[in-house]
A and B are shown apart, each in its own frame.
Chain A
Amino acid sequence: MAKHKNVLPGFNLTLGYTLLYLSLIVLIPLSAAFIKTTELSFDEFWAVVTAPRVLASYKLTFGASLIGALINAVFGLLTAWVLVRYTFPGKKIIDALVDLPFALPTAVAGIALTAVYAGNGWIGSLLEPHGIKVAFTPIGVIIALTFIGLPFVVRTVQPVLEDLEAETEEAAASLGANRLQTFTKVILPTLWPALLTGFALAFARAIGEYGSVIFIAGNVPFVSEITPLIIITKLEQYEYASATAVAVVMLVISFLLLFAINGLQWWATRRNGSSH
């Protein structure tokens, strides 16, 4: 049975169409970015992608993305825990609203966060007397990147937490573990792959983010200018080759992250599969 000939029709048609459409929309256009950079010599390429202003933008983009993803790892785990383990009024609505950053257009998120965290905004006006400026500073970038990465950790951890069987926790308790020990020694190890996957997804999404950041960032060169904005600025000055050079650096990093995430997910499903 395992090696019988597949009798279903449509293989050539569907695979052919898939490859054609994938090539036309994704692969050929993406290859254009790599081909375009060959117009630059390696020294020119290196000078563009390591210019001080560009380096400062990497630092902000990767730093703020990392902090945002870390915030999401902690609070995403907490949110998933609360949604799976506890009951409280309005829980279903809150569960559905966690996906808001996936559904809300980034430009809307950007102006909304700016309105709330600006000096005269609802939250910004509470923080400013304490000397904390959020909007138009790198902190604003972190806020926006935390927002757009928020659902990832919750949605990767939630199903694993739901599948966790009470027996293992009971066994730990009956062997004398207190609740904190059970959490750190029994529950957390099971959640690790999902938590890491969610963290990596949030981080990857944050690196490329543009729409929600540019409104709240203030976009000051060397201070609050993200790398995607550098690409846009270069494009507006018709510096196509150098815009593309910076884009290629980001593409390579994104692709490496994609492979890392695929590896993590493979690890996660294998771990969950074997634990059942």
Chain B
Amino acid sequence: MSNTTSSQYASYHSKVSRSRATSEPAWIRWTLIITTLVFLSLFLFVPLLAVFTEALRKGFDTYITALTDSDALSAIKLTLIAAAIAVPLNLVFGVAAAWAIAKFEFKGKSILITLIDLPFAVSPVIAGLIYVLIFGLQGWFGSYLSDHDFKVIFAIPGIVLATIFVTFPFVARELIPLMQAQGKDEEEAGLVLGASGWQILWRITLPNIKWGLLYGVILTNARAMGEFGAVSVVSGHIRGMTNTMPLHVEILYNEYNYAAAFAVASLLALLALVTLVLKSFVEWQVARNASINEHSN
């Protein structure tokens, strides 16, 4: 039997229903399924449901009032601003890093990949702390900044910086393996046909990586809008000024204004659900494209 036929046989075989010898009796199957569902309910489904019921506990009018409160609106605005700056910056970085790492060979590449991952290993609290050490009043540039009347810490620039830090690796780590797998044949073909570097990027590379890029952007955006610990350290919690949505949730909650806290939280929970839907959509697209390519080969 040649290699191809045996692997075709294997893939055919794994698709047909499993025989009794390699499956479990129904009662074990259902015990395992139910145990899983109970576990996921305790940790995921029930808390998620609680966000929405707590938000609407005092009625729809209270809900709307909590969301249209001026402090809530300015928190929403600041969250959108932070994400609108952090996402494009990390997107450009991700493409640049993936281009250098995937298309070229150089010394220290694996160290560079590890360093790009560093922000994921750092506690959000420490991510905030390091910017306080640099830009805070006692920090490296503290006196210079206060002489020039420019605030970073307890102001919007600090919030943006902390957001960039915690979302730093997402796009890059999505694109690096993808572009490594795709190789550089198409780009080299473009070059031979006379395309410039930017034309290659826009016409060949970006269309090839669009789903991976979108996936990275979705994850970056979700984290950017939801970040709490890092932003909390650099924000100073000034209502209506330096409060993002998650920080506003905390303030309302600590004031025992639970209905309002959960109302703002429910917006963030909706964002999370939209994120999961988009993520599943991208995964479905990628799987579909992969199976189309497989059949055409």
Contact = CB atoms under 8 A, between A and B. Distances in A.
Interface of A: 6-11, 13-15, 17-19, 21-22, 25-30, 32-33, 36, 75, 78-79, 81-82, 85-86, 88, 92, 94, 96-109, 111-113, 115-116, 121-123, 143, 146-147, 150, 165-167, 169-170, 173-174, 179, 182, 204, 207-211, 215, 228-229, 231-232, 235, 238, 240, 243-244, 247, 250-251, 254-255, 257-259, 262
B21 A170 contact: yes
Main secondary structure of the interface of B (DSSP, over half): helix
Interface string B189-228: 0010000110011000000000000000001001001111
Contacts of A13: 96
21 contacts: A10-B103, A14-B99, A18-B96, A18-B101, A33-B126, A33-B129, A33-B133, A78-B39, A79-B40, A82-B33, A104-B226, A104-B272, A105-B225, A107-B226, A109-B47, A111-B261, A122-B46, A167-B10, A247-B129, A254-B122, A258-B114
B35 A204 contact: no
B106 A94 contact: no
Interface stretch (B48-56, B63-71, B143-151, B289-297): B48-56
Interface string B242-258: 00011101100100001
Main secondary structure of the interface of A (DSSP, over half): helix
B228 A105 contact: yes
A7 B45 CA distance: 52
A10 to B, nearest CB: 5
Interface residues on B, range: 35 or more
A261 to B, nearest CB: 8
B60 interface: no
Interface string B87-105: 0000001001101110111
A105 B247 CA distance: 11
A98 B262 CA distance: 22
A173 B22 contact: yes
A96 B168 CA distance: 24
A75 B39 contact: yes
Interface of B: 10, 13-14, 18-19, 21-24, 29, 32-33, 35-37, 39-40, 42-48, 50-51, 54, 93, 96-97, 99-101, 103-106, 112, 114-126, 129-134, 136, 138-140, 161, 164-165, 168, 184, 187-188, 191, 196-197, 200-201, 219, 222, 225-229, 232-233, 245-247, 249-250, 253, 258, 261-262, 265, 268-269, 271-273, 275-277, 279-280
A75 to B, nearest CB: 5
Nearest to B275: A103
A26 B104 CA distance: 23
B123 A173 contact: no
B43 A25 contact: no
B100 A86 contact: no
10 shortest interchain CB distances as A-B pairs = A105-B226, A208-B123, A211-B228, A173-B21, A210-B229, A9-B197, A103-B272, A112-B47, A29-B130, A14-B100
A38 B24 CA distance: 60
B122 A150 contact: no
A167 B140 CA distance: 62
Nearest to A168: B22
Contacts of B196: 9
A248 B227 CA distance: 22
Contact of A6 (B44, B105, B250): B105
Contacts of B104: 6, 8, 11, 15
Contacts of B50: 112, 115-116, 121-122
A198 B233 CA distance: 29
B165 A26 contact: yes
Contacts of A250: 123, 126
B222 A81 contact: no
Contacts of B24: 179
A267 B181 CA distance: 19
Contacts of A22: 97, 112, 115-116
